[in-house]
Amino acid sequence: MQDDASSLVSVIVPIYNAGKFLRQCLDSICGQTHKELEIILIDDGCTDNSPAIIDEYAARDPRVKAIHKENGGYGAGCNRGIDIATGKWISIIEPDDYIDAEMYQDMLDFASKSSSQIDIIKCPWTEVCNWDDPTKTETRPCLLASRLASRNKPFTLSDEPMLITMHPSIWSALYRRDFLNEKGIRFIEYPGAGWADNPFLVETMCQASSILYLNNCYYNYRVDLPGSTHNHKTPELVTRPFDRWVTMLEVIKRLGITDERILAAHYQKGFSYAFGAEIDDGKDNPLVIENEKRIFSMMDPTIVERMCEVPIGRIRRYCELMGRPMPRHTQLNRGAYLLGSAMYTVHSFGIGRTAVLTMRHCYITARDKIST
């Protein structure tokens, strides 16, 4: 809509002991070229210097609202922000990340060119790697940036189901506040971080009737440090990815979604979670095996057999645990998929990004072979 370029954006920052990065985060928000902001800072029972920083920014910028509350977790903090927000658009920023100055203005300008009412404006993001060592820190566009071209005509998840196969990345998006309220969409209030972003991703993407995608990276996301997720100390941490996958599947079923492409996209997410658990906690870990069997048993095998998006090593693991034979023509279908994907990327982005995508696939394939 034409008024989107000047719309008020409610920026919600759920904060728990993020003092080390918080100033960079808040400076990047306050310094946006789009000035119509309502910046809601949720102090979720911080025990470091974050509350003082929050009050400092609230005192010097009238757009900043400081909310201090008892610890309730990431989801509860986000919900508190959504409930008190007054902007047309909702943005969620994590306090250890930061955003480019043009993020909101570019996204709103993009939306203003559409005559339709938009529910979600989505973008890719930049991954900030090895951020604990300035001599090794590097940035790179996320994989989505090489897989999906900008789409200025509204679409739904059925058109681009890959949006739920990538990192949840709920922070590299704007959500129309009335859309969230009309659909009753809120975060599940798990303790701590709790991976609450995963169900929220599926709730929003599955219920949105109009999505725009702008293929520019504005959000700078600090990825997990190498090895930081290895050898989880409790069973709950080992099973959490599987539990969230099941919750997302329950959302999909509750919404009555039967589109095979969406189901396959969710299955692909499950394969990624399973492989991540094997890397983090061991392929032979009984708890990992038990939970892999749990989610694999919830997948329609006829869909899995046609999923050429999934690396062959992961399909082999599925077949071994489920006692099923390897699907016929698996390698041929996988090769055809990769060729088609490469041709799409060349057409959309040129040879350079195609080379990046190819190198990433080779890395994943080699990693899979090492783990098997």
Q: pLDDT tens-digit profile of 40-55? A: 999 999 999 999 999 9
Q: Is residue 318 scored above 90 in pLDDT?
A: yes
Looking at the structure, tell me whether residues 253 and 196 fall in a common domain. no
Q: Is residue 371 scored above 50 in pLDDT?
A: no
Q: pLDDT tens-digit profile of 166-202? A: 999 999 999 999 999 999 999 999 998 889 999 999 9
- For the sheet with 138-141, list strands across it: 98-99, 219-222, 125-129, 138-141
Looking at the structure, tell me whether residues 217 and 249 fall in a common domain. no
Q: What is the mean pLDDT of residues 158-168?
A: 95
Outline where DSSP puts E strands in 109-215: 120-122, 125-129, 138-141, 151-155, 173-176, 211-213
Average pLDDT, the chain: 89
The answer to whether residue 299 sits within a structural domain is yes
What range does the domain containing 138 cover? 2-222
Looking at the structure, tell me whether residues 246 and 212 fall in a common domain. no
Q: Is residue 215 scored above 80 in pLDDT?
A: yes
Looking at the structure, tell me whether residues 138 and 261 fall in a common domain. no
The answer to whether residue 80 sits within a structural domain is yes
Looking at the structure, tell me whether residues 270 and 178 fall in a common domain. no
Q: Is residue 135 scored above 80 in pLDDT?
A: yes
pTM, two decimals, is 0.88
DSSP helix/strand/coil, 53 = helix
The answer to whether residue 230 sits within a structural domain is no
Looking at the structure, tell me whether residues 195 and 55 fall in a common domain. yes
The answer to whether residue 229 sits within a structural domain is no
Q: Is residue 323 scored above 90 in pLDDT?
A: yes
Looking at the structure, tell me whether residues 174 and 44 fall in a common domain. yes
The 8 Å CB, 24+ separation contacts for 316-323 are 316/372, 317/274, 317/275, 317/278, 317/292, 317/372, 318/271, 321/289, 321/292, 321/293, 321/296, 322/293, 322/296, 322/297
The answer to whether residue 260 sits within a structural domain is yes
